[in-house]
Structure 1
Amino acid sequence: GTLYHWELPQDLEDIGGWTNPEIVNIFQEYADLVFKTYGHKVKWWLTINEPSMAALGYGGETFAPAAYENLTGVVEYQVGRNMLLAHAGAYRLYKRKYIHQNGKLSMVFGGLFCIPKTDHLEDRKAAERCFQNTYGWFGHPIFIGDYPPEMRKTIDELSRREHRNTSRLPYLTQDEIAYIKGTADYYGLSQYTTYLASDEASDKSNVDPDIAYPKFFRRRLMKDTGVLFSSDPSWPAESLYLYKVVPQG
């Protein structure tokens, strides 16, 4: 059973949706009702489907609610923090109150599966940044604790270059890190396709990313990775233009 797959009621969107910290408590109340009503039937729970993708809806028009485009690069990370805390709250509520139902809980981790465009060191690092800034954004706090160090370093440095007083990636308190860590009984993976990753600073292909890549990849969070995304022309295309058939990925 899935608690949230991007269908937030309008009344909650009207107070800021996932940008409002109060959503953490509201989500826990909602989870309590769902567990109480359906928990005797459901043994596998997903709290939030692909939070890394859902958060993009708060930085532009890619996904619902298609809002706050003027705050892109800031608001998505705030949303991510609230989603992590909401997920952890639902998980700990279940383990405290509904453990007798013998269910398993996690979230669906969505991201971009990247392989290096070349064997050059910079492209291999770019592929790793792709993983850390998408799958690791939520997976690292839950399974290891806190945000990935490379993601933290990158966003902090970009924020300094932008002359910001604070990092665009919120800092979790030690209590929040402990609260979030360990709140998954299994790893739920959403995988669609594979991308080639090259380092934006060293890629000399002279391809304009604003022309070559779909709007999704021009979102601020994708640019934060410092990665150029592409695909191998030999990969068969699926019916959706974004997706290529890459069995090894």
Structure 2
Amino acid sequence: MANYFRDYANLCFEAFGDRVKHWITFSDPRAHAKAWHSYNTTWRSKQQGLVGISLNCDWGEPVDISNPKDLEAAERYLQFCLGWFANPIYAGDYPQVMKDYIGRKSAEQGLEMSRLPVFSLQEKSYIKGTSDFLGLGHFTTRYITERNYPSRQGPSYQNDRDLIELVDPNWPDLGSKWLYSVPWGFRRLLNFAQTQYGDPPIYVMENGASQKFHCTQLCDEWRIQYLKGYINEMLKEPLLSHMQMVTEIVVPTVCSLCVLITAVLLMLLLRRQS
């Protein structure tokens, strides 16, 4: 199937590449790397476009930020969600926490090898770096805490994570049972992706709210508020920009002021002695 998708992508590049300069391979990835390499070797020099991937992930907020177990569970939630596909592209392999947890659970189930596939060195090298930008879909947030009891269900993506997802009853609910409006989680996810994957260009691909009521006329105030909240969070200054500003502006300015103050104090001291 990966080769079939590569062939389909090549057809698209050939037919539309003179006009289309931004390509998104998947929102549910399977064969992204083959399409990226095909564009990179055959079409990029002619068409000067960009190829990225689109991944969907909700934000996971620890229930208790002072509890290391909750912090680890929230990190695990994000790595199993976004890191599952982003980490191979930006680091060349699955997140270590996925390999550890799935490997351990596979052994407990009597399997001789992990249910999580293992990349060969050639595959790692082939996949790593295959994205000119990161597309990000995001809709809502969950509070995350560690699951401290064994699951009674069989092996699955949900059970491998060993965590519990919770919602705040005060969060505005929307048209779908799983969807709550939590704008602040959006900015935290953007900051996480920015710092986790080396500050790539990030394009927001998916976001929005479902129909809440059946109306005979326009009545989507809840959608207006949802979009307004999420767009405002997206427009806030990213974390790395603040860090860069501190590094490039604040630190040199403070150092210069310290030197200036030291010089003034030294002059005053010399005058007093004379």
- Pick from 74, 79, 102: which aligns with 2:48? 102
Q: Deviations over 1:131-167 (max 9, x none)?
A: 1111000000001111111111111001000000111
Deviation at 1:219, TM superposition (A): 8.7
What residue in structure 2 maps to residue 230 of structure 1?
A: 166
Q: Measure, in 1, the Cα distance between the counterparts of 2:103 and 2:54.
A: 27
User: Per the alignment, in what secondary structure is the counterpart of residue 115 of structure 1?
Assistant: strand
Q: Deviations over 1:50-73 (max 9, x none)?
A: 33xxxxxxxxxxxxxxxxxxxxxx
The TM-score, its normalising length taken from structure 2, stands at 0.64
2:157 pairs with 1:179: no
- Pick from 5, 17, 20: which aligns with 1:42? 20
User: Per the alignment, in what secondary structure is the counterpart of residue 176 of structure 1?
Assistant: helix
Deviation at 1:112, TM superposition (A): 3.0
What residue in structure 1 maps to residue 58 of structure 2?
A: 112
Contact preservation (8 Å) 1:50, 1:107: no
Task: Evaluate the alpha carbon distance shift between residue 90 and residue 168 of structure 1 in structure 2; reply closer, same or farther with a 3 A threshold.
Answer: same
Deviation at 1:111, TM superposition (A): 2.3
Q: Measure, in 2, the Cα distance between the counterparts of 1:135 and 1:201.
A: 24
Amino acid at match of 1:93: S
Moved more, 102-111 or 87-96: 102-111
Percent identity, aligned pairs only?
A: 33
| Runs of 4+ displaced beyond 3 Å | none
Answer 1 or 2: which has greater helix percent.
2
What residue in structure 2 maps to residue 88 of structure 1?
A: 33
Q: How many residues align?
A: 183
Q: Which runs of 5+ in 1 are unaligned?
A: 1-22, 52-82, 211-217
What residue in structure 2 maps to residue 10 of structure 1?
A: none
- Pick from 108, 118, 127: which aligns with 1:161? 108
User: Per the alignment, in what secondary structure is the counterpart of residue 201 of structure 1?
Assistant: coil
Amino acid at match of 2:25: T
Q: Measure, in 2, the Cα distance between the counterparts of 1:162 and 1:209.
A: 13
Deviation at 1:209, TM superposition (A): 10
Q: Measure, in 1, the Cα distance between the counterparts of 2:32 and 2:78.
A: 21
What residue in structure 2 maps to residue 7 of structure 1?
A: none
Contact preservation (8 Å) 1:140, 1:147: yes
User: Per the alignment, in what secondary structure is the counterpart of residue 146 of structure 1?
Assistant: coil
What residue in structure 1 maps to residue 99 of structure 2?
A: 152
Q: Measure, in 1, the Cα distance between the counterparts of 2:62 and 2:103.
A: 24
Greater RCO (Cα-Cα under 8 Å, separation 6 or more): 1
Where do 1:1-249 residues align within 5 Å? 23-51=1-29, 83=30, 86-99=31-44, 100-119=46-65, 120-201=67-148, 220-249=156-185
Q: Deviations over 1:90-121 (max 9, x none)?
A: 00100111112111111111123100012211
Q: Measure, in 1, the Cα distance between the counterparts of 2:136 and 2:159.
A: 23
Q: Deviations over 1:13-45 (max 9, x none)?
A: xxxxxxxxxx11111111111111111111111
User: Per the alignment, in what secondary structure is the counterpart of residue 169 of structure 1?
Assistant: coil
The TM-score, its normalising length taken from structure 1, stands at 0.70
Q: Measure, in 1, the Cα distance between the counterparts of 2:23 and 2:169.
A: 38
Q: Deviations over 1:210-238 (max 9, x none)?
A: 9xxxxxxx992122111111101111111
Q: Which runs of 5+ in 2 are unaligned?
A: 186-274
Larger radius of gyration: 2
